[in-house]
Structure 1
Amino acid sequence: MKIRRVGWTGLRVEPPSSADVPRLAAEIRRRRNHGELSGLAEIVPAAHTLLLVAHRGSEELLDRLARELPTWDLPPARTDGSRLHRIPVRFDGADLDEIAARVGLSRDRVIAHLLRARLRVAFLGFSPGWAYIEGVPAEIQVPRRDSPRARVPGGSVCIANGYLGIYARPSPSGWWIVGTTDVPVWNLEADPPALFGVGDRVQLVEAP
């Protein structure tokens, strides 16, 4: 486990495996909820790292965590206790045929892989409501587009580099569009505004 301080109040943690990031984040949240880490202000998971931010005046907590984190026993990965979002998708994406050609499958087989995929929110970022959703099957994984688009519509369901994402609003994008959805992933009138949370499960279903 690689650990280093970031500024006065931050600690960057890189576990041995990216699969350990959500497990470590869950254990830190559990301990904070039980009052053990009351000086911890933020827990920010990313693809391979975790950023911990302490309240001002609690910086010594980061020194303690740097010593103790490598010795912690982590909980098993969650399999069925997290929220499940069923997202209706119209598989009308402009890139489906090109994805199919790249991976050597038919358009229908690409869609079938997406419908069977066991997807989970790995981390959040990039723009309001955006979730990096892991679990895109290896058979249909593609890298980012060589030529990004200047604009994709809000509601676009896209894949790239093993992740799936849903755009809350029109945005530039280098990802491949597989479909569209009417599900709002960011709603300022909701609490919280973001539909997805880290660890949530996601299932795509074909929209009627």
Structure 2
Amino acid sequence: MILGSPVARLERAPPVIRNDEPPMTLSSSIKYLAERGIAITEISANRYVLHVEGKRSSILEEGPNGLVFSCWDCAPGPGPDDFRTAFGVLDDALLAAWYFYFGQAVGVDGWCIPLHQHPYWSLNRLAYRIANAIHLTSDQFEVMEESRQRDRMSHATAGLPPSDGRYAAALRSQFVACPSATSSDTLMLRRDLEEAYVVESRGQAA
């Protein structure tokens, strides 16, 4: 037999495994979160409210462009802890929801980071930003933060889109405070992880 012939290639080909099971969807998979202690309330097709007693409610929804996990308490917001994160893979969205409610802060280079509360963060980018953090006094940081907030308000009054534009502006101007395990310093992470500052407690040298 000629090895390059179609018959030879067919004989060497691996068997075809047929899987006629329908693809997993949010509506068929949301039960896995309920089985793990998250209360689920369906508010419309492919849109669910998630809740655990004593913690913030969130929304997990599936649309034509993927899945969105959000937690938005402030009106109009976003507040410093509000977020809206898109996922292209169902498992990633389910894991993010579970981790949001049952995860704990992680230690990175001596800092206590609430990674579970910010599902839009990635660990590798977080580690890079911490390694390149800039040291400031508390007074220097306050001046810089106030300037960012003024810029954000000026953009808001200039007519940015009310949802995505406002959220992007908040990520550029809001910071998450992370305590140190070894000192009185505080790590301030910009919410979009484009900046990080080690803010020294008052009385220390810059």
Q: Normalising by structure 1, what TM-score?
A: 0.26
Larger proportion of strand = 1
Q: Normalising by structure 2, what TM-score?
A: 0.26
Which structure's CA Rg is the greater one? 2
Higher relative CO (Cα under 8 Å, sequence separation at least 6) belongs to 1
